[in-house]
Structure formats: structure tokens, C-alpha cells
Structure 1
Amino acid sequence: MGGYDFSSLRNQRGMSYWGWLLVVVVFGFILTCVSKMGPAYIDAYYVDEGLRKLAENAELRDMSRGDIKKELDRFFRINNVRGKPTKAVKIVRGADSMLVSVDYELRQPLIYNVDVVMKFDKQLNTAKPELCCKPLVDLEQFSKRD
């Protein structure tokens, strides 16, 4: 009658205390990473969107550097982008095109003395606006001349 195998029931008890502790620690670490690095990636998304919106402006080639920076600053202010992205805007004019670059690096403390370094390089080349936001030109060559 009802021949139960109690040894197999003992093996089906579920996770142990250490198993649950490991799950909680891993989940906590992932949550910490997302909460520390997430805002930087959200800002990078809005930098990307700001450059795309700037690319859609028909009068972009006629705008001065100050006007372009004001336009981007307005977009950044509306979307709450602050800090390094707003200060990293560089504009290089060529003979028949213009390059608007937002190249910056953020260092975010993660846990105690462990930091995460995030590098963002977004570019808008008016000669190829369809390739917006991918870095096409190495700006180091221009900064050496300045």
C-alpha cells in the first residue's frame, strides 16, 4: 500500500540556505550595477537622440557653432542631461561638411574601491547624416592642432 520512496522526497526539498543566499547576492550585484551605470547610459541615449534631431535640422550647415551648442543644450536641458556630456560638445567645420562630436568618459564608483569606466563617443557628420552617432572620425588629430 502506497509504497513511498522517502529518499527521493528528501532530494526534492528545494534550495538550501546557501543557494538562496547566492541568488540574493547575485541579484543585489546586478541591481547595484544597473542603478550605478543606468543613468550614464540613459544620458548617452539622449545625446544620441539630440544629435539625430540636430541632423534633421535643414538649416544645420548655416548655423554658427554657438547656435548648434545652444540647440543641443536646450535638448539636453529638456531631457535632464547634465555633467560631462554637455561639456564635451565639439564642432569641427570642414570645406563642405561639419562634424559635431560628443566624446566623453565617465568614472562611476561601483563597490568600495572598484570603479567602472564608461566611454561614449557620438558623432554627427553632416556629409553622412544617415550614419549619425557612430564615430567616423578620430578627433585626436584635430585636438593636436588646437
Structure 2
Amino acid sequence: MQMARSQGGWSLLNVMLVLSLVAVIASGVFKMLPHYLDFMSLEEIITSVENDKAANVRTIGEFNARLSKGMQVNSIRGINLDEAVTIKIENNEFRVHLKYERREPFIRNLDLVARFDKEFRVRLP
């Protein structure tokens, strides 16, 4: 015969602790997910310049205009292009360095921080 302790299930306290832990993790995910989606959209905007021959982007000004238009279409706000993006033309290609940081308040004085830092090489059309 088995003892009563070995047949016991989860107590109410255990269930409440697990649910609160899941809620904290879900809150963090839902706060940071939009920033990662914005970053992926920016990546796509930058790399699409190479594939879109009709746009005929040849200068840094045209590239910046294309980026700002793409950000407006994708509703990406809160990122200053002048600070986040550095563009150079070297060896018949754009060298784009995308570097910025996003902070979200989490619990009282704790913040969630996402740092995005990626370099792209986009060939001129």
C-alpha cells in the first residue's frame, strides 16, 4: 500500500507559483516581441534595396529616403535613423551598420534591454 504523501498532487501554492512565473515570462515576451519584429522589418527593408532594380538606389540620400519610407509603411517608430544607421559606399556596395538599443520598463526599476547590432553589405544595382 502506498503512503498518502506519495499520492498527493500539486498544492494550491505550487499552482499559484507556476502561474505567476508563467505570467512574468509572458509579460516579458510580449513587451520585447514588437522590438524584434521591428528589427526584422528593418533587415528586410535594407536587404530589399539590392533586389529592387526599379528603385535604382545609388546614393546615400536615396538609401536613407528608402529606409525612412519603409519604416513609415511598416509603422516603425521610436528609432532615430540618424543615430541608428551608418551608411558608407565602398567597393560598389553600400555598407550599412544598424546599431541601436531598445528599453522596456519591466518591474519597478528593472528594465528589459534589447541591443541590435548588425552590418549589411548591399550591392549597388
Identity of aligned residues (%): 28
CA distance in 2, matches of 1:78, 1:30: 31
User: 1:87-98 to 2 correspondence within 5 Å?
Assistant: 87=82, 88-98=84-94
Q: Which has the higher contact order (CA 8 A, sep 6+)?
A: 2
1:116 to 2:115 alignment? no
Aligned to 1:131: none
CA offset at residue 95 of structure 1? 4.4
> Which SS does the other structure have where 2:117 is aligned?
strand
Q: What number of residue pairs does the alignment pair up?
A: 122
1:107 to 2:109 alignment? no
Higher strand proportion, which one?
2
- Structure-2 change in CA distance of 1:107 and 1:77 (3 Å): same
5+ residue gaps, structure 1, are: 128-146
5+ residue gaps, structure 2, are: none
> Which SS does the other structure have where 2:75 is aligned?
coil
- Structure-2 change in CA distance of 1:62 and 1:39 (3 Å): closer
Q: What is the RMSD of the two structures over their aligned residues, measured on CA atoms?
A: 2.3
**Worse-superposed segment, 70-79 or 15-24:** 70-79
Is residue 47–residue 122 contact of structure 2 (8 Å, CA) maintained in 1?
A: no
Is residue 50–residue 122 contact of structure 2 (8 Å, CA) maintained in 1?
A: yes
CA offset at residue 51 of structure 1? 1.5
Which structure is larger by alpha-carbon Rg, 1 or 2? 1
> TM-score w.r.t. structure 2 length?
0.81
**Worse-superposed segment, 87-96 or 71-80:** 87-96
